[in-house]
Each structure stands twice: as C-alpha cells, then as structure tokens.
Amino acid sequence: MHAVMGKSNGKSEAETAGLDLEHELPAAEGEDQPSESASSGAAAGEVSGPAAELQKLKAERDSLLDRLARAQAEFENARRRASKEQQEFRDYASADAVKSLLPVLDSFERALQVRSEPGDFRGGVELIYKQLQDALSKLGVRAIPAKGEPFDPHVHEAIEMVETSDAADHEVLEELQRGYKIKDRLLRPAMVKVAKNP
C-alpha cells in the first residue's frame, strides 16, 4: 500500500511537476512575447525616431529655401526700384537744366523773326549770350580761365606749342576753345596754344 501510495504519490508529483512545467511554459512563452513586442516596439521607435528627424530636417530645409527665395526676390525688387529712381533722378535733373535754357531759346527765336540792322542784330545776340551765361551760371557751370594763365594739364589741353620770348615759359597764349567746369567737375578742357621759350 505504501508502494501504491508512493507510486501514486510519484505519479501525482510527476503530473504535478508536468502541470507546473506546462503552466510555466505558457507563462515563459507569454513572458517572451511581451519582450519581443517590446523589442519590436523599440525597433519601431528607432525607425520612427530617425524618420521624424528626417522629416523635421526636410521641413527646415524647405523653410530656409523659401526664405532664401523671398530674400532674393526682395533684393531684385529693391535693385530695380533703385535703378528706376536713379534714372528718374537723371531725367528730372536734365529736365531742370533744359527748363532753365528755354528762355534763351525763346530769345533766339524772337531775334530771328525780327528784321533789323546788322548793328541791332549783333546787340540782340550779345544780350542772348549774356542770358545764356546767366542760365549756365545758375546751374553751376563756369568757364575755365585760360589766356595769360600758366598751363595746367588738369584743365587745359595744349593744341600747339609756340616758341616765343614775349611770354613766360608754359604760359597760355591763346584760347582756341573755352573749357568749362560744373561745380568742381571738369566738363571739357580748354583747348589752348602754349608758349615755349627758346
């Protein structure tokens, strides 16, 4: 009876052990499955992490490219505006200069319409010449002194050198064409004959 009980006890222990093993296996498998899902979740996290980072970098790149395109467009518009303003300034500056010369043109037209004696005609032309000089003077234009002045290569252009003892060496003997400055800028040099002592 002892043997039977021992046998039955042994069997029940084996069965109990088997049952425990069977109970442990699903539990072990169950434990493995969460760890696999956790590891797959971690792997998915690793994939979604770089993908999210890549998306973020792409968005930043697109934003920077958009800002660059806008800045280039604004710069181009500003350049065009500045160029247009400069052209308008030049046009209006020329318009002011021409406007100041219109009375001189009117005087020439009136002088040409009137039939007069040669002496009267000369007097009229001299008045118009004076009027033109005044208009140019208001614009800042002035004649460059030449005759009797020492030759200055900055404002004089020597057309001829004349050997003479009647004037100082390198003195301007004659002005062939008058030179002009506007304020401090040279418009054209005076064309002159220059003395050269023998």
Residue position matching structure tokens 């003077």: 137
d(CA 37, CA 43): 9
- Cα 83 to Cα 75, 94, 100, 113, 186: the distances in Å are 12, 17, 26, 44, 25
Tell me the CATH number of domain 142-198, given options 1.10.10.10, 1.10.4190.10, 3.40.50.1000, 2.30.22.10: 2.30.22.10
Q: Give the list of residues 6+ apart from residue 93 with CB closer than 8 angstroms, or none.
A: none
Go through 46-78 and write b for each residue having 16 or more CB atoms within 10 A of its CB, e for each that does not: eeeeeeeeeeeeeeeeeeeeeeeeeeeeeeeee
Instruction: Say if domain 54-139 classifies as CATH 3.30.470.20.
Output: no
Q: How far apart are CA 85 and CA 82, in angstroms?
A: 5
Residues of the chain with CATH 3.90.20.20: 54-139
How does pLDDT run across 75-118, given as a tens digit for each residue? 999 999 999 999 888 878 778 788 888 888 888 888 878 777 77
- The first and second tokens of residue 87, run together, are 């052209």
Q: Where in the chain is the domain with CATH 2.30.22.10?
A: 142-198
Q: What are phi and psi of 116, to 5 degrees?
A: -145, 170
Relative to beta strand 141-143, strand 180-182 is antiparallel
Quote the pTM value: 0.52
| pLDDT of 18 above 60 | no
- In tens, the pLDDT along 109-153 reads 888 787 777 777 888 888 999 999 998 888 889 999 999 999 999
Taking 70 as the threshold, does the pLDDT of residue 19 lie above it?
no
pLDDT at 74: 95
Cβ atoms within 10 Å of 131's Cβ, excluding its own = 16
